[in-house]
Structure 1
């Protein structure tokens, strides 16, 4: 899936930069991209993917920490702490919905 998405975005960028369709077509594509990016379903999917990635990184860091122990460099330890802090956002019950 990642490779398919990369290919599609590369094709779109190639078309935008390589096409001789003119400014009108470029503006049309830009507006379409903005509509997609502002779509609540797309935003929720992106946020969900980011949270999943952060939780996977925390799990991987926990596994590495358990195996390596105190031998981790300080920079890695600080980064792991930052990831753990970001993985659990504070709860707010207004302004968002899960529907």
Structure 2
């Protein structure tokens, strides 16, 4: 994300500078930016950072999933406890279910 923002800022700065200095200067700036971006060292760094960002996102996703699962289990246990009147967790239905029909027009 940071790389995208940096790229957009650099592009905007290049555009403004190019517009002020004329088309020729804009082409010089654009060419220099393209050379810099195409530099194998820069691309290697970008590739490394993309890999690290992907790994960090996967780890964060796994941690979030664990927390959601734990929280959901805790909430479900709390609800079961309250529904059962504080007794044991029972996986049985709550008794006879009544369905109310809504009047139709």
**What's the TM-score once normalised by structure 2's chain length?**
0.52
Task: Supply the distance in 2 between the matched residues of 1:38 and 1:25 (Cα, whole angstroms).
Answer: 20
> Does the 8 Å CA contact 2:37/2:43 hold for their aligned counterparts?
yes
Instruction: Select the structure with the greater relative contact order (CA < 8 A; seq sep ≥ 6).
Output: 1
* Residue in structure 2 matched with residue 22 of structure 1 by the alignment: 22
| Distance apart, 1:14 and its partner CA | 3.0
* Residue in structure 2 matched with residue 60 of structure 1 by the alignment: 60
| Distance apart, 1:51 and its partner CA | 0.8
Q: Report Cα offsets for 1:38-95 as digits up to 9, x if no partner.
A: 1000001111111111111001001011111296xxxxxxxxxxxxxxxxxxxxxxxx
- 1:71-86 paired onto structure 2 within 5 Å: none
**Structure 2 unaligned blocks of 5 or more:** 73-105
- Flag the structure with larger Rg: 2
Q: Report Cα offsets for 1:9-38 as digits up to 9, x if no partner.
A: 254443234x1x111101111110110011
* Residue in structure 2 matched with residue 47 of structure 1 by the alignment: 47
Task: Supply the distance in 2 between the matched residues of 1:11 and 1:26 (Cα, whole angstroms).
Answer: 11
Task: Supply the distance in 1 between the matched residues of 2:29 and 2:47 (Cα, whole angstroms).
Answer: 24
Q: How many residue pairs were aligned?
A: 66
**What's the TM-score once normalised by structure 1's chain length?**
0.55
